[in-house]
Structure 1
Amino acid sequence: MTRTPVIAITTGEPAGIGPEISIRGAWECRKTVLPVLIGDYAYLEELAQKIDPVIVLKRIDRIHAERLESSHHFDGIYVVDCPLEQTVTPGKLNPANGITVLNSLDIAIEGALKRNFDAIVTAPVQKSTINDAGIPFTGHTEYLAEKTATRQVVMMLAGPTKPMGNDIPGFALRVALATTHLPIKNVSGAITIGSLMEILSIIDNDLKNKFGIASPKILVTGLNPHAGENGYLGMEEIDVISPALEKARKAGIHACGPFPADTLFQPRFLQNADCILAMYHDQGLPVLKYATFGQGVNITLGLPLIRTSVDHGTALDIAEKGLGLADHGSMIEAINTAALMASHWRNNIHF
């Protein structure tokens, strides 16, 4: 019997659209994956009945989550109950519930490391609320790295682009980041030959093992305008990026560049590339989100587990207006991508 991937879905900030899109995404994908929501069961059940009374949720505890049979396809959604501290008001943040958001993520991480879950999909969280609860938190990516004792992880967003013209079909676009949530003034100092080499190795390894790409081609941007203009607009390309790429190529990694970021994102370059490595958050992600928003997926590379997420935030303003307005397309893509990655990884690692 074909093994159905067990996908843990953390429902994110309860006052945002996370719970709604998690329920909708899990319900729509239940024929191809075994979805396990992690969140407050009572609140999720209330929302599910308002979304569609035919949606079936089944509460389980962490022990039962360890015994889920992925070959048995329950026609509904399992929920590992992670109770909230206080009642939720959609659109209104409450720091009292910040600890519960992290508890749900901890349950997912523990289950994935034990191989009870084949992958984790995360709905968006509100960083400010978690910090207001007294817990230092910079984002899912950094938290997952800390909790899995992973020294280096890589943030990558991916998605199918919109058609670029009548004669150019949409194509898969993957953009990884050399740095993540850093002030611009700190970016240059954070990029070193060693760090870039490690990041390129992670991208190459995960594209092979988790995406099934035999020989990944990675295109790398420069840091400065025009990729430094031969040193006239900055020396990082000459002193750091080019030496790192040369070292990566000697290690068997197909990495090219550095290219000017303002001209790299064109179909004639991208259609033969498996991933773009941008130097900082707002260099690569505006292009990716413009091209794929609503279908984009956030993926954390380098972890001893698979984690995907949606490409957007908590959308408190939409949640405040009521159910039925949130687009769950990105959640569906995140679930499907997690399942596909789990299949490749299982075949390559032989769990």
Structure 2
Amino acid sequence: MRPLALTLGDPAGIGPEVTWKAWERLRGNPELAFAVIAPPSALKRVSRSEHPLALLEDISEASDQFSHALPVLPIEGNAAIPGQADPVHADTITRSIQTAVTQALLGQADAVVTNPIAKDVLYRAGFSFPGHTEYLGALCKGVAAPYHPGPVMMLTAPDSENRDLRVGLATIHIPLQTTSGSLTPDVVMSAARTLLGALKLDFGIENPRLAVCGLNPHAGENGALGTEEQDVINPVCRLLRSEGHDISDALPADTLFHAEARLTYDGVLAMYHDQGLIPVKTLDFHRGVNVTLGLPIVRTSPDHGTAFNIAGQGIARPDSLIAALRKAREIATHRHGH
């Protein structure tokens, strides 16, 4: 069992703090051993632990060090002032992500777990990708995925019965006013195939049931409130059903996420960002996990941002990062099983 590669995220955010807190909670669990890819100074600045850093020459050393020191695969960079976002750290942030992906592609790490980044900080330094998901897809370009290629963004969180709500997105980081024009049959088909493949391979569901959100109120009300369901979404769903997949036609999103409805499917395909993320974050904000589907590597992330407003105060909760580490190990185990 190889370690998990954890990125630094923005060093001015809560990533370094929740990394220490996650390690303190998990260091007795060797299955969740991870190495942080970061400048050591970025972690030392926020350390509230009497435990040391273990500077690694190879990420494989993380498992042996994990119980008594926080394993760090060092990269160049400087510590940040908590709460003060600065584009000067952009190279460190992206280098951490690149190194983690390389470790996973080489088979040295079982998964990549990413601490949160602030995209506007990176944009000011010339970052050209809409977000983490798209950047990871570019870093993995040319390497075959184990099922239909993504990237597709999925959010997942447990309910009170510890059953996961899993929501994938057909479109991600685009303005809402452009969503309708972006929902082509190819886009919906690709996202649905990726989500079905992930439910089977990454989540171990042999015959996944997929529910699909409509774009418009009441799923278009038979065309009275919009025709995207009739013209784009439902024809894709019919084709996938003809291939033997268990997938619904477009359903009203406002009735799809209550407790009884969640028992009828294993995953949901939402049409745009907030349509899918609001239900997941409402269900359990502190244990939500972002999963990138359709990559040749396993990637998860906490379902929260950099939280510059509380960085350095010692009050950040590591729950979502811990959930992301656990989910990464779970998905990696399912992939190894195949």
TM-score bucket of the superposed structures, by smaller chain: over 0.9
Which residue is equivalent to 1:9?
A: 6
Which residue is equivalent to 2:41?
A: 42
- Counterpart of 1:287 (choices 270, 276, 279) is 279
Report the aligned-residue RMSD: 1.6
Report the Cα distance in structure 1 between the residues aligned to 2:84 and 2:45, rounded to whole angstroms: 18
Which residue is equivalent to 2:180?
A: 188
Q: How does 1:214-225 map to 2 (within 5 A)?
A: 214-225=206-217
User: Are 1:310 and 1:331, in contact at CA under 8 Å, matched by a contact in 2?
Assistant: yes
Report the Cα distance in structure 2 between the residues aligned to 1:69 and 1:52, rounded to whole angstroms: 18
SS in 2 for 1:288: helix
Which residue is equivalent to 1:159?
A: 157
Moved more, 295-304 or 171-180: 171-180
Cα shift at 1:69: 7.6
Q: Does 2:71 correspond to 1:78?
A: yes
Q: Does 2:322 correspond to 1:326?
A: no
State the percentage of identical aligned residues.
39
Report the Cα distance in structure 2 between the residues aligned to 1:128 and 1:255, rounded to whole angstroms: 37
Count, aligned residues = 329
**AA of the residue aligned to 2:228:** E
Q: How does 1:204-219 map to 2 (within 5 A)?
A: 204-219=196-211
Report the Cα distance in structure 2 between the residues aligned to 1:121 and 1:69, rounded to whole angstroms: 15
Cα shift at 1:73: 6.3
**AA of the residue aligned to 2:70:** I
Which runs of structure 1 show a deviation greater than 3 angstroms over 4 or more consecutive aligned residues?
67-70
Cα shift at 1:170: 5.2
SS in 2 for 1:231: coil
TM-score of the aligned structures, taking structure 1 as reference length: 0.90
Deviation sequence 1:215-262 (CA, Å, 0-9, x none): 111100100000000000011100110000011112222111211011
Cα shift at 1:60: 1.7
Which residue is equivalent to 1:57?
A: 53
User: Are 2:54 and 2:65, in contact at CA under 8 Å, matched by a contact in 1?
Assistant: no
Which residue is equivalent to 1:347?
A: 337
Deviation sequence 1:268-306 (CA, Å, 0-9, x none): 111231111110001121111111100000000000000
- Counterpart of 2:268 (choices 273, 276, 288) is 276
User: Are 2:255 and 2:261, in contact at CA under 8 Å, matched by a contact in 1?
Assistant: no
Report the Cα distance in structure 2 between the residues aligned to 1:68 and 1:304, rounded to whole angstroms: 23
Change (3 A) 1:87 1:44: closer
Which residue is equivalent to 2:146?
A: none
Which residue is equivalent to 1:166?
A: none
Change (3 A) 1:308 1:251: same
- Counterpart of 1:126 (choices 93, 111, 118) is 118
Which residue is equivalent to 2:87?
A: 95
SS in 2 for 1:179: coil
**AA of the residue aligned to 1:57:** L
- Counterpart of 2:22 (choices 25, 37, 41) is 25
User: Are 2:83 and 2:310, in contact at CA under 8 Å, matched by a contact in 1?
Assistant: yes
Report the Cα distance in structure 2 between the residues aligned to 1:88 and 1:148, rounded to whole angstroms: 29
User: Are 2:62 and 2:71, in contact at CA under 8 Å, matched by a contact in 1?
Assistant: no
User: Are 1:123 and 1:310, in contact at CA under 8 Å, matched by a contact in 2?
Assistant: yes
SS in 1 for 2:222: helix
Gaps of at least 5 residues in structure 1 are 164-168
- Counterpart of 1:306 (choices 294, 298, 305) is 298
**AA of the residue aligned to 2:120:** S
Report the Cα distance in structure 2 between the residues aligned to 1:242 and 1:265, rounded to whole angstroms: 20
Report the Cα distance in structure 1 between the residues aligned to 2:243 and 2:21, rounded to whole angstroms: 44
- Counterpart of 1:258 (choices 250, 259, 266) is 250
**AA of the residue aligned to 2:332:** A
Report the Cα distance in structure 1 between the residues aligned to 2:271 and 2:194, rounded to whole angstroms: 15
Deviation sequence 1:120-168 (CA, Å, 0-9, x none): 110100111111112223211000011111663110000112x4xxxxx
User: Are 1:201 and 1:253, in contact at CA under 8 Å, matched by a contact in 2?
Assistant: no
Cα shift at 1:74: 4.1
Report the Cα distance in structure 2 between the residues aligned to 1:98 and 1:60, rounded to whole angstroms: 23
Which residue is equivalent to 1:113?
A: 105
Report the Cα distance in structure 2 between the residues aligned to 1:27 and 1:117, rounded to whole angstroms: 21
Report the Cα distance in structure 2 between the residues aligned to 1:108 and 1:174, rounded to whole angstroms: 25
Cα shift at 1:91: 0.4
Report the Cα distance in structure 1 between the residues aligned to 2:140 and 2:163, rounded to whole angstroms: 33
Report the Cα distance in structure 1 between the residues aligned to 2:287 and 2:10, rounded to whole angstroms: 20
Deviation sequence 1:53-96 (CA, Å, 0-9, x none): 1x3321124xx22x4485x5642321011222x44111001111
Deviation sequence 1:168-227 (CA, Å, 0-9, x none): x45311111110001111111111222212211111111111111111111001000000
User: Are 1:137 and 1:143, in contact at CA under 8 Å, matched by a contact in 2?
Assistant: yes
